[in-house]
Amino acid sequence: MKSFDVPVHYRSPLVTAIKLKRKGEDKMKKDYTPTVLQLGDLQVLLARHFGFCYGVENAIEIAFRAVAENPGKRIFLLSEMIHNPGVNADLLALGIKFIMDTKGNMLIDWDKLKSDDVVIIPAFGTTIELEEKLRSIGIDPTHYETTCPFVEKVWNRAEKIGDDGYTVVVHGKPGHEETRATFSHSKAHTHTVVVKDMEQAQLLGRYITGELPVTGFPEDFKGQYSHGFDPAKDLQRIGVVNQTTMLASETQAIADYLKQLIITHYQTTPDKASERFADTRDTLCYATNDNQTAVQGMLEREADIALVIGGYNSSNTSHLVELCEQKLPTYFINDEHCLLSAKLIRHFDLHAHMEKETTGFLPVHKPLRVMITSGASCPDALVERVIERLAVITGNEQAATVIKEQWEI
């Protein structure tokens, strides 16, 4: 796979050494057991796969290149480059300005932009409507476009489904930049509706079977369907794609549910299901799949707590948190500064949608066993700093130094 030129301060000598060793031992990526780091009486179980993915490194390289190639010019990001506060802060420090926030709210009016400005499209991609808006100003949105190729793969899949006469059902978070972009590209070819979870998929199913009158559809799926969508007609033939960072098991469950519902409702046989349900393969990106599978492999071991590192608005990271929460106490943290002491941690509560502090997060017994993973937009250097901070607050700082020496850092 291509290597990217990203700032060295995002790299970690320790994590790089670990990843290279694991890759050399497991070229086919069949071993999802964690890497075990013994730091005195602290045992760190590091997920087999985590951190920067292809799309993120590609986006960072392009963004920093845009700055280097355009001295004196105004440079804008359409929205956050990726969902990592540290990386976005670095870009802001370089003078890059955000045109809108992650929800699509304008931070800079369109009339403030000029044709000679540089606008970078983030890794999530953007809508056809916004691309056309930039072109109307005289700005080429493709010159510094960082859209992840795996996101574009979903767009291509949706286009193929639409061209074959199916309506597209997108499994994704309706307000997420990637889902908004995928919805825009899909509806350009066919009628499209977004479902955020299994509950909404089941609600959609009740419209497919006619259990619910179509008059309720506009309210139940407000802002999540294409113009002119007719549930009675457009749900007769469907196909499912997804936001690339969703939970793989949930996407598969939604697709399986809708397929079986179609088979039952139209009294067809499984071998003829393709007449009503498009044969779509999973559209998660490789990194999302690898990271989620690595967490599942890590959870087969015993541990006291799990730390998941990443931006609080990162979709792929939040699903790693959800997986870990199924087995043990899990803390979603931004960086090493969230580890305030051996007794106090600052973390994000996914369910309450707020940051909070928790006391007594580390058990008092020894040895301690802590699982660690991170999202696809989290720099490896941040993971190393969390390990170092964990070693400090548990009294294992010297052992952490020895570990680095063992890995020939």
- Enter the tokens of residue 7: 């700032």
**Strongest mean pLDDT among 50-59, 98-107, 192-201:** 192-201
Residue where a domain terminates, one of 137, 168, 197: 137
Contact 152, 128 (CB under 8 A): no
Q: Mark 210-245 as b/e (b = at least 16 C-beta within 10 Å).
A: eebeeeebeeebeebbbeebebeebbbbbbbbbbbb
Q: State the pLDDT confidence band at 266, using cuts at 50, 70 and 90.
A: very high
What is the mean predicted confidence (pLDDT) over 170-186?
96
Q: Same domain, yes or no, for 82 and 95?
A: yes
- Can you give the pLDDT at residue 1? 58
Q: Same domain, yes or no, for 180 and 168?
A: yes
- Can you give the pLDDT at residue 310? 96
- The CA distance from 193 to 186, in Å, is 9
- Can you give the pLDDT at residue 401? 86
Alpha helices in 116-216 (DSSP H): 128-137, 149-163, 177-187, 198-208
Neighbours of 124 (CB within 10 A): 29
Q: Same domain, yes or no, for 221 and 244?
A: yes
Q: Is 319 exposed, middle or buried, given 0-12, 13-18 or 19+ CB atoms closer than 10 A?
A: buried
Find the largest Cα–Cα distance for the chain: 67
Instruction: Using the predicted structure, report yes or no on whether residue 172 has a pLDDT greater than 80.
Output: yes
Give domain status of residue 225, yes or no: yes
Alpha helices in 281-372 (DSSP H): 286-298, 315-325
What is the mean predicted confidence (pLDDT) over 286-291?
88
Give domain status of residue 143, yes or no: no
Q: Same domain, yes or no, for 235 and 322?
A: no
- The CA distance from 402 to 167, in Å, is 57
Q: Same domain, yes or no, for 223 and 310?
A: no
What is the mean predicted confidence (pLDDT) over 165-194?
97
Range of the domain at 58: 54-137
Give domain status of residue 34, yes or no: yes
Give domain status of residue 109, yes or no: yes
What is the mean predicted confidence (pLDDT) over 65-75?
95
Domains: count for the chain: 3
Q: State the pLDDT confidence band at 405, using cuts at 50, 70 and 90.
A: confident
Instruction: Using the predicted structure, report yes or no on whether residue 408 has a pLDDT greater than 80.
Output: no
Q: Same domain, yes or no, for 121 and 30?
A: no
Instruction: Using the predicted structure, report yes or no on whether residue 140 has a pLDDT greater than 70.
Output: yes
Q: pTM for the complete prediction?
A: 0.91
Instruction: Using the predicted structure, report yes or no on whether residue 409 has a pLDDT greater than 70.
Output: no
Q: Same domain, yes or no, for 129 and 45?
A: no
Residues in the chain, overall count = 409
Residue where a domain terminates, one of 234, 251, 275: 275
Residue where a domain terminates, one of 275, 308, 335: 275
369: DSSP letter:
E
The set of catalytic residues is: 178
Give domain status of residue 145, yes or no: no
In this predicted model, what pLDDT tens digit does every residue of 311-331 receive, in sequence order?
999 999 999 999 999 999 999
Q: Same domain, yes or no, for 127 and 208?
A: no
Give domain status of residue 280, yes or no: no
From residue 248, give the alpha-carbon distance in Å to each of 97, 186, 306, 325: 34, 21, 20, 16
Contact 314, 53 (CB under 8 A): no
- The CA distance from 349 to 233, in Å, is 41
Please compute, for residue 257, the number of CA atoms within 13 A of its CA located in the half-sphere on the CB side: 21
CATH number at 78 reads 3.40.50.11270
H or E element that contains 239:
strand 238-242
Please compute, for residue 350, the number of CA atoms within 13 A of its CA located in the half-sphere on the CB side: 20
Q: Same domain, yes or no, for 330 and 372?
A: yes
What is the mean predicted confidence (pLDDT) over 67-72?
95
- Can you give the pLDDT at residue 340? 98
- Can you give the pLDDT at residue 327? 97
- The CA distance from 381 to 99, in Å, is 28
CATH number at 221 reads 3.40.1010.20
